[in-house]
Structure 1
Amino acid sequence: MPEQPRKDALRAAVSAARNALSDGRWRDEDARRTRHVLAAVAPLPVATAAVYVSRRGEPDTRDIIDGLLALGWQVLVPRLVRAPDWAAFPGWVELVPGWGGIPHPAGPGLGAAGLAEADLILLPCLAVGRDGTRLGTGGGWYDRALPHRRPGALLVALAREDEVLDTVPTLPHDVSVDGWATELGWVIVDR
């Protein structure tokens, strides 16, 4: 089977599984995932992280963003416009609905090149492979954004443990990740 149909089928299966989760299960998994992320970054030198602002049905990032800020990190979040754009996180009350109702900063952004400020990039996925492959939602926003990262920036996908597979289908433009964080832990792939 060609890769695109395999990607679409996996997206549908993961989305259905996520939709079947209770709110309580999401809250529990999010709290555990957040603890793992913050424990992993706590010993690192304070730096800049780029983190997506989550929406319902995705691993939640609200407490991760708040935790990073409490640790002294600078946090960049996507500005969801046609071309990739990033902005300093202005605070929760300053976010406005962006594409698909996803909250984002209203003001001017840093442009795509703003991602080069980040030492750590926490990104969404529907599935992640133990080999570093990542299945996004299909819009290609991160595939267009990630080439602007600086060399050495750590790419970590946030997922559910059930979404960690040996590998996921990819296309030539897909960017691999360095690791993932789930409700069971933080894993960096040894390549």
Structure 2
Amino acid sequence: MPTADPSNPPDGTETDTLRAAKAALRTRIRAARAVPESASASSARTASALELCAGHRVIALYASAGDEPDTWPLIDALYAEGRTVLLPLLGRRPDGSVRRDPDWARYAGRDRLRLGYASIPEPVGPGLGTEGLAAATLVWCAGLAATVSGDRLGTGGGWYDRALPFAAPEALIAVLLRDSEVLPTLPVEPFDQPIGAIVTETRVLRAARE
């Protein structure tokens, strides 16, 4: 998977323009997500995501929160099938220091979760470190929009842009979105990490880099 070089950003004017465009798009998408989708739409997305997971034994996911497409049915189904599910560790380390580098831990059931950063559930551990992601052959990453050419609009924190360079080169990177969030173009910065598949409530798209 190609990675962008964050040490070579656009010039200041272009950066400001791109970031303003991203912020405006995030606001618009989150306003649309304030309208809940139907249970049937969510179930259809989960079913398609499960099909995409076929043949993958180690899968990285995220614990959905707020307006994000619900990942919990997918997490629980994969775990029940005996797959290894990796979830992000967010917030603070056990010693109290702030965790900056992305970290992962194996999901071991809902009774083995704690509240992490922003009250997002995370496994009790132990952490596998940034390199733990390399074991996954399929990585579901958070996003607000994507294009069929593989560009992704993240949620704004940069967590996955820091995490994805540690994925295995052959790993499939995918996002769960609403149909309306598949867009023709997106503002992209050099450090934005590309994706390889999009799953919505009506379709599964394989991204093709130009």
TM-score (norm 1): 0.92
The answer (yes or no) to whether the contact 2:106–2:125 under 8 Å persists in 1 is: no
Amino acid aligned to 1:39: E
1:136 aligns with 2:148: no
Amino acid aligned to 1:31: S
Amino acid aligned to 1:119: T
1 CA distance for matches of 2:29 and 2:75? Answer: 25
Identity of aligned residues (%): 43
2:179 aligned partner: 161
1:94 aligns with 2:112: yes
Bigger share in strand: 1
Q: Which runs of 5+ in 1 are unaligned?
A: none
Amino acid aligned to 1:168: L
1:51 aligns with 2:66: no
1:133 Cα deviation from its structure 2 partner? 0.4
1:10 aligns with 2:10: no
2 CA distance for matches of 1:157 and 1:48? Answer: 16
The answer (yes or no) to whether the contact 1:59–1:124 under 8 Å persists in 2 is: no
Q: After alignment, is 96-105 or 65-74 more displaced?
A: 65-74
User: For the aligned residues, what is the CA RMSD?
Assistant: 1.4
Q: After alignment, is 64-73 or 144-153 more displaced?
A: 64-73
Q: Which protein has the larger Cα radius of gyration, Structure 1 or Structure 2?
A: 2
1 CA distance for matches of 2:26 and 2:140? Answer: 19
1:38 aligned partner: 50
3-state SS of the aligned residue for 2:28? helix
TM-score (norm 2): 0.84
1:67 aligns with 2:81: no
1:26 Cα deviation from its structure 2 partner? 4.5
C-alpha distance after superposition, 1:119-167 (max 9, x if no partner) = 0001110111111000011000111111111111000011111100012
2 CA distance for matches of 1:145 and 1:35? Answer: 26
3-state SS of the aligned residue for 1:145? helix
What is the count of residue pairs matched by the alignment? Answer: 186
3-state SS of the aligned residue for 2:141? strand
Amino acid aligned to 2:70: D
1:15 Cα deviation from its structure 2 partner? 0.5
